[in-house]
A = this chain, B = another copy of it.
Amino acid sequence: MDMLLKCDANYASLTPITFLKRASAFYSDRTSLIYEGTRFTWRQTYERCCRLASSLHRLNISKNDVVSVLAPNVPALYEMHFAVPMAGAILNTINTRLDANNIALILRHSEAKILFVDYKYIQEAKDALRLLVAESFPLPLIVNIDDIDSPTGVRFGNFEYEQLIHNGDVKFTPREVHDEWDSIALNYTSGTTSAPKGVVYSHRAAFLSTLSLVMGWEMGNAPVYLWTLPMFHCNGWTFTWGIAARGGTNVCMRNTTAFDIFRNINLHHVTHMCCAPIVFRIILEANGGDRRQVASPVNVLTGGAPPPAPLLEKMEALGFHITHAYGLTEATGPALVCEWQEKWNILPTDEQAKLKARQGISILTLADVDVKNLDTMESVPHDGHTTGEIVLRGSSLMKGYFKDPAATAAAFKNGWFLTGDIGVIYPDGYLEIKDRSKDVIISGGENISSVEVETVLYRHPQVAEAAVVAMPHPLWGESPCAFVAVHGDADTVSEAEIIAFCRKNLSHYMVPKKVVFVAELPKANGKIQKFKLREQAKYFNVTEKRVAQISRNKSGRQDSSRRLDYGEHVLAMSRL
């Protein structure tokens, strides 16, 4: 048997680029992408990607070069998911909610050769580049992404996106992927520590994860997919590539507003969308003019946990069918999907909601998933009760963290990837998360590192001690809440002052919505006991103006007529 060798005919690198070539061959005249007045077919999308790849090649982009992009869900960002690897390079999609500091940090760390910038983010890009200039760091080439809404006269780039397409060679032959272990994407997590980590995906992982998610979600042929999920999140949970695999239609959106969501759904007969649960909120809270019944059911894959019964019911009543998934950037998107079992249909609604709230079962291309006691590496019993850390292994996981061997080594242990999430396994094999790596605050689907916020707080001249934990937020799920002990007299500094200081030094979504002044932070062995603060903060809410004061008086609990909103709970759990 062993004399049968691999050859070009029977061994081809697994790469999602195949999906686009195939779509161009077999779905050539089918609509690949719609963005307001713009429409392309799969043949056109393939040709545009060939042209762009050819232009990148002429700009000396070659294997393992990083190409960064800062853009909302516009056609250019979609096309780059193929064109950049077709040029042999690695795609780095930057979270558009980051501030100039973080953008600069990513450009520096990734050594991006080119930065594509949508017109809306020119200011952030300029500010980031200015920071690089200040450090004499070599600047990337800049390519402007415009559309018909772009204000005139704001160009600052070296090239225009459409010009690269136009000048490219439509007959360009995509670079062969000689090794499926080669890198296709670099995605920075905000992570739990202050330094964002660059998660690297192989072509193999991207290919396998794409197939798994299409299967896990039971997505059929020719879906119409609405881009409510930012493509910069794990490459749109791999559906950037998956829609090509299924010969579907991408409906792009610049802004995720209720008006645009409902309009696009009914106009284009959307069948599928992914989103963080914050989008449920946008949908459910739409005003009368924006909100409408959807004409045919829309399948929604949502990242994060517990979509509780009332939320599910409201969404289902509007025509949305929700599937719950769990994942992380390191797992190339969702790693578990809460696959529905038909026998559950007869259960009462709240029972169903409980079952749906679980994180579920592994996707098909993971080799294994387990919940383990990390000290012994023993699996927990399947009792729905004993907790351990959720661990994963398989070919759809990341290669590792870019230029960070220590973090990479720490993430992989004894043949497993450690998620940092604490969970249980039920007797039926389904997993549920019980707690999460402690310090992350998830606000509007974005991870906020408490350490990063604390670092800024500590820079304030009067802050002696600071700890940041999550508190519930009616819209964003969680918000950062800062506990601060000040030097000297506490009355000399106000909450408003601290918040203003943070706004100057942090991306806005990271700014604490509440600052609680305390005489001293609770500690054990010199370490701050954040769980005690979290315990306190979970009864706070942003409208309750007096909480800080009360807290200082050590009264601890407030009445809490306020219910922890279900929407937020979902958000809080979201890792995606």
A residues within 8 Å of B by Cβ?
A: 1-12, 14, 18-19, 21-22, 25-30, 64, 90, 181-183, 200, 205, 208, 211, 214-215, 218, 220-222, 245, 247, 339-342, 361-362, 364-365, 367-368, 392-395, 397-400, 402, 405, 408, 412-413, 415-417, 428-430
CB distance from A115 to the nearest CB of B (A): 19
Residue of A9, A214, A361, A365 most packed against chain B (CB within 10 A): A9
CB distance from A302 to the nearest CB of B (A): 18
| A395 touching B12, Cβ below 8 Å | yes
- Choose among B2, B10, B367, B413 the residue that contacts A417 (Cβ–Cβ < 8 A): B10
| B430 touching A18, Cβ below 8 Å | no
CB distance from A204 to the nearest CB of B (A): 8
Q: Knowing A200-B4, A214-B215, A408-B4 touch, does A12 contact B393 (C-beta < 8 A)? A: yes
| A339 touching B64, Cβ below 8 Å | no
CA distance A22 to B428 in the complex (A): 12
Residue of A12, A90, A392, A412 most packed against chain B (CB within 10 A): A12
Nearest B residue to A391 by beta-carbon distance? B9
CB distance from A548 to the nearest CB of B (A): 44
For A400, what are the chain B residues with a Cβ–Cβ distance below 8 Å? 4-5, 10
For A218, what are the chain B residues with a Cβ–Cβ distance below 8 Å? 220-221
CA distance A220 to B215 in the complex (A): 8
CA distance A181 to B398 in the complex (A): 22
| B395 touching A28, Cβ below 8 Å | no
CA distance A245 to B182 in the complex (A): 28
For A28, what are the chain B residues with a Cβ–Cβ distance below 8 Å? 428-429
| A211 touching B364, Cβ below 8 Å | yes
- Choose among B9, B12, B182, B215 the residue that contacts A215 (Cβ–Cβ < 8 A): B215
- Choose among B1, B215, B342, B368 the residue that contacts A90 (Cβ–Cβ < 8 A): B1
- Choose among B25, B364, B395 the residue that contacts A429 (Cβ–Cβ < 8 A): B25
| A399 touching B4, Cβ below 8 Å | yes
Please, could you name 17 A-B residue pairs with CB atoms under 8 Å apart, sorted by A?
Answer: A1-B399, A2-B64, A4-B402, A6-B181, A8-B416, A10-B393, A10-B399, A10-B417, A14-B208, A14-B395, A18-B368, A22-B364, A26-B361, A211-B365, A215-B215, A215-B245, A245-B364
| A221 touching B339, Cβ below 8 Å | yes
Q: Knowing A22-B362, A64-B2 touch, does A342 contact B12 (C-beta < 8 A)? A: no
| B7 touching A412, Cβ below 8 Å | yes
Residue of A25, A222, A402, A430 most packed against chain B (CB within 10 A): A25
Q: Knowing A395-B12, A399-B10, A405-B3 touch, does A211 contact B215 (C-beta < 8 A)? A: yes
CA distance A247 to B356 in the complex (A): 18
CB distance from A355 to the nearest CB of B (A): 13
- Choose among B1, B5, B21 the residue that contacts A183 (Cβ–Cβ < 8 A): B1
| B9 touching A222, Cβ below 8 Å | no
CB distance from A318 to the nearest CB of B (A): 24
Top 9 nearest A-B pairs (CB, nearest first) are A8-B415, A12-B367, A4-B399, A4-B400, A26-B361, A10-B397, A9-B412, A26-B429, A1-B183
For A12, what are the chain B residues with a Cβ–Cβ distance below 8 Å? 367-368, 393-395
| A417 touching B9, Cβ below 8 Å | yes
CA distance A412 to B9 in the complex (A): 6
CA distance A27 to B340 in the complex (A): 11
| A10 touching B398, Cβ below 8 Å | yes
Nearest B residue to A43 by beta-carbon distance? B429
For A7, what are the chain B residues with a Cβ–Cβ distance below 8 Å? 412, 415
For A394, what are the chain B residues with a Cβ–Cβ distance below 8 Å? 10, 12
CA distance A222 to B399 in the complex (A): 32
Nearest B residue to A330 by beta-carbon distance? B10
For A5, what are the chain B residues with a Cβ–Cβ distance below 8 Å? 400
| A1 touching B429, Cβ below 8 Å | no
CA distance A362 to B412 in the complex (A): 37
Nearest B residue to A216 by beta-carbon distance? B221
CA distance A443 to B507 in the complex (A): 72
CB distance from A571 to the nearest CB of B (A): 26
For A25, what are the chain B residues with a Cβ–Cβ distance below 8 Å? 361, 429
For A405, what are the chain B residues with a Cβ–Cβ distance below 8 Å? 3
